[in-house]
Amino acid sequence: QEAHAAQMERTFIAIKPDGVQRGLIAEIISRFEHKGFKLVAIKILVPSKEFAQKHYHDLKDRPFFNGLCAFLSSGPVVAMERESKYGRKLIGATDPQKSEPGTIRGDLAVVVGRNIIQGSDGPETAKDEINLWFKPQELVSYKSNAEKWIY
């Protein structure tokens, strides 16, 4: 069981300032919780502009980079780490106009610059994002009995 937990893929998820200010924290968290993705870290913070630039460093050459970093640092963000492989399916396509109904963005967001949530796009970016946002002592390790029934 310990080995299983250690190997389980981890993903970083953040509810962006628009999701927090629209009062969607509980709605978004409940989607992951109901699916059965185990929460191992969570906190609320206002990221600095420099921190946002680090988080989005891959996009630094894109025309929307400055606006995106300004927006991420404009208010509280709820940062989470979960054990899950398929977070992106629940989140939906980057552009909410193209995300399927049933996904978080498809159901709750309208425009690409205000798509309420971010999730790692693969195991490598997940590791980088988790290291950027969380200290090791902020992660909890526990056995969820529900895993026996869901997975």
Rounded distance between C-alpha atoms, residue 116 and residue 14, angstroms: 9
* Cβ distance to ligand RTP smaller for residue 5 or 29: 29
Q: 5, 8, 112, 132: which one contacts ligand RTP (CB under 6 A)?
A: 112
Q: Which residues lie closer than 8 Å to 107 by C-beta, 6 or more apart? A: 101
Q: Residue 131, annotated ligand binder?
A: no
**Pick from 81, 84, 115, 126: which binds ligand RTP (CB under 6 A)?**
115
By CB under 6 A, residue 86 contacts ligand RTP: no
Task: Indicate the pairing of strand 38-45 with strand 77-83.
Answer: antiparallel
User: How many Å from the N-terminal Cα to the C-terminal Cα in the chain?
Assistant: 13
Whole-number Å distance between alpha carbons of 3 and 24: 34
**Single residue of 9, 27, 107, 121 touching ligand RTP by CB under 6 A:** 121
Annotated binding-site positions: 16, 64, 88, 94, 105, 115
Footprint of ligand RTP (CB under 6 A): 59, 64, 68, 94, 112-113, 115, 118-119, 121
